[in-house]
Amino acid sequence: MNQNIRRLHRLSSALLLLGASAFAASHRNGPMLLEDQTANLNDFYIFRSYENGKSDRVVMSMSGQGFQNPDNGPSYYKFSDTVTYRFNINNQRGLDGNPDLIVDFTFSTLLRPNPTFVSYFGTIKSIDDPGIFLYQTYTVTIRNQTTGQVTVLNADENGHALSVAPPNLGPKSTPNYEATLGQPSVFTLVNGWRVFAGPRDDAFFFDSGATFDTLNFRAPAPVLTGAAEIGPGPGYPKAVDGFAGYNISLIALELPITAVTVDGKVPGSSTAPDAKIAAWASTLRQQVTVRPSPSDPLYFGDFVQVDRVANPLTVEALIPLPMKDYWNRSVPSGDQQFAQYIGNPFFATGILNGVFGLPVPPAPRKDLLGIFVPDITRIDLTIPPTSLAEQNRLGPLGGDNAGWPFGGRRPNDDVVDIGLRAIAGILVPGFTNAPPLGDGVNENDVPTLDHFPFHAPPHAGYLHSQENGTNGQGMPTGQ
């Protein structure tokens, strides 16, 4: 083996280690959250709406309880009645990681009297069908931290309770799912905001199986060139979306730009003081739980944070394992305490440079610190949205500034490939050692929507079997 080939192999090995260790998100955000999945957040999205006629709106959504098997009955996944699911919006003080507007979603479950052993029975014809035995509703509480104003809403503009969309059981129980149950679960509030809560396809895409099999990447990953860099990526089995065919629990909110700016106006230029905001999601529980079995649990004390998520891959990629639970419970305004790990990432210095002698950007990595400290997802509200058909999966790296990390984050942004290239130094001015890294999975397993709530309808339980399983490829949802 000559010297050039040997060096190529060393380079490939280094990149494999970087890809596996640094950006191996799996929706398991910390050891303690493995025991509390209803409070475990997976992804957070914020973007200017690209729905036709809605470009004056901002959309935020959070996903939780990842890897939901669609046929996991008779007790399907639900939101917890004891968790507060929170959107935090920061629009002042130079975006310091302290919330200025808080929107809470809290849930209540009604188990309707019935003699069956299932949560849903018969053909579900509407969101008010009596066959929905496990019936969840929710309350939206809006808190303006500046004025102290609190608004509580538990019904839409027509007085209908804000109800959670039921699962997609299959063509017999939930025929025409999206038209019958999905879109009717989008509610318009009296203030003009729109909300949704319920199961959806998981829009995160990543070859997790190859990564966690001790860096057993499928060619041509991790250095993508030619056809592997464009379009959907290499066809299965060369690239496998480990999240294909699974659902998540989604909470989505659409509100006017004027509702999230500090002055209540639409910013006119990117240099305006109200042009940029940031946001993140968090979950909270009360401090004390008492279980007087066989009676129901009792809850006491203040609500405290259990989990948080803003930029993709932060806790999975940049926070050391022993600190993940502590990070999840901490607040963004205190993220300077983690700067030592983010500004001098081990994956760049310890692996690329320390082991293989490859040049990497010097510490402190101001490019990464500017994104991840504090860990809030920033969005320039003056960047116009890009239509779904015209979006580039690499966002700003592909010339589409309406994506992550500068224009918020959309469901179709390939955050794994963007993140890989960022840690390799592509955002450092004048630094050229940034090869086109990626996992080979370039798009979601099923098409996302061009309208609210944007995530695709949930996969059907009836179609999710060993015989008809997605096998990393996905299948149409919504039947």
Average pLDDT, stretch 12-18?
40
Average pLDDT, stretch 348-360?
62
Burial class (CB in 10 A: 0-12, 13-18, 19+), 238: middle
**Residue 346: partners with Cβ closer than 8 Å, 6 or more residues away:** none
Q: What is the pLDDT of residue 287?
A: 97
Alpha helices in 170-313 (DSSP H): 177, 208-212
Q: Kindly report the pTM of this predicted structure.
A: 0.93
Q: How do strand 187-188 and strand 150-153 relate by DSSP bridges?
A: unpaired
Alpha helices in 105-222 (DSSP H): 177, 208-212
Closest of 452, 403, 405, 450 to residue 426, by C-alpha: 405
3-state secondary structure of 261: coil
Predicted confidence (pLDDT) at residue 330 exceeds the cutoff of 90: yes
- What is the percentage of the chain residues whose pLDDT exceeds 70? 89
Task: Provide the Cα torsion 394, 398, 402, 406; round to 10°.
Answer: 80
| Listed range (377-391, 396-410, 453-467) with the worst mean pLDDT | 453-467
Alpha-carbon span 474 to 455, nearest angstrom: 14
First CA to last CA distance, the chain:
54
Q: What is the pLDDT of residue 211?
A: 74
Alpha-carbon span 76 to 70, nearest angstrom: 8
pLDDT band (50, 70, 90) for residue 9: very low
Biggest alpha carbon–alpha carbon distance for the chain:
75
Alpha-carbon span 156 to 119, nearest angstrom: 25
Closest of 163, 180, 162, 182 to residue 172, by C-alpha: 180
* Mean pLDDT, rounded, of the chain: 89
pLDDT tens sequence across 107-130? 999 999 999 999 999 999 999 999
Decide: 154 and 197 in contact? Cβ < 8 Å.
Answer: no
Would you report the helix, strand and coil content of the chain in percent, each value rounded to 5? 20, 25, 55
Decide: 449 and 49 in contact? Cβ < 8 Å.
Answer: no
pLDDT band (50, 70, 90) for residue 354: low
Closest of 344, 258, 272 to residue 58, by C-alpha: 258
Decide: 333 and 374 in contact? Cβ < 8 Å.
Answer: yes
Decide: 111 and 133 in contact? Cβ < 8 Å.
Answer: yes
178: number of CA atoms within 13 Å, CB side? 17
| Listed range (35-44, 161-170, 356-365, 381-390) with the worst mean pLDDT | 356-365
| Listed range (197-206, 368-377, 426-435) with the worst mean pLDDT | 426-435
Predicted confidence (pLDDT) at residue 152 exceeds the cutoff of 60: yes
β-pair partners for 89: 101, 279
Alpha helices in 228-322 (DSSP H): 314-317
Rounded to the nearest 10 degrees, the angle between the axes of helix 3-22 and helix 415-423 is 120
**Of the spans 140-144, 226-230, 316-320, which averages the highest pLDDT?**
140-144
**Residue 433: partners with Cβ closer than 8 Å, 6 or more residues away:** 358, 359, 360, 424, 425
- In what helix (H) or strand (E) does residue 444 lie, and over which residues does it extend? none
Decide: 348 and 359 in contact? Cβ < 8 Å.
Answer: no
Predicted confidence (pLDDT) at residue 17 exceeds the cutoff of 80: no
**Residue carrying the six token digits 């596996």:** 20
**Residue 432: partners with Cβ closer than 8 Å, 6 or more residues away:** none
Average pLDDT, stretch 188-202?
98
Is the alpha carbon torsion for 224, 225, 228, 232 positive or negative? positive
Alpha-carbon span 434 to 424, nearest angstrom: 5
Predicted confidence (pLDDT) at residue 24 exceeds the cutoff of 80: no
- Give the type of residue at 38: T
DSSP state of 270: T
Top pLDDT among 354 and 148 is at 148
Average pLDDT, stretch 372-401?
97
DSSP strands (E only) in 91-208: 101-111, 134-144, 150-153, 187-188, 194-201
Residue 334 CB coordination number (10 Å): 11
Q: What is the pLDDT of residue 231?
A: 83
Q: Any idea where the domains of the chain sit in the sequence?
A: 3-423
How many helices and strands in the chain, by DSSP H and E? 9, 12
Decide: 438 and 423 in contact? Cβ < 8 Å.
Answer: no
pLDDT tens sequence across 249-303? 999 999 999 999 999 999 999 999 999 999 999 999 999 999 999 999 999 999 9
Closest of 239, 269, 256 to residue 441, by C-alpha: 239
Angle CA(285)–CA(287)–CA(289) in degrees, nearest 5?
A: 90
Top pLDDT among 6 and 130 is at 130
Phi, psi of 206 (to 5 degrees): -175, 140
Q: How do strand 101-111 and strand 134-144 relate by DSSP bridges?
A: antiparallel
**Residue carrying the six token digits 């991840």:** 372
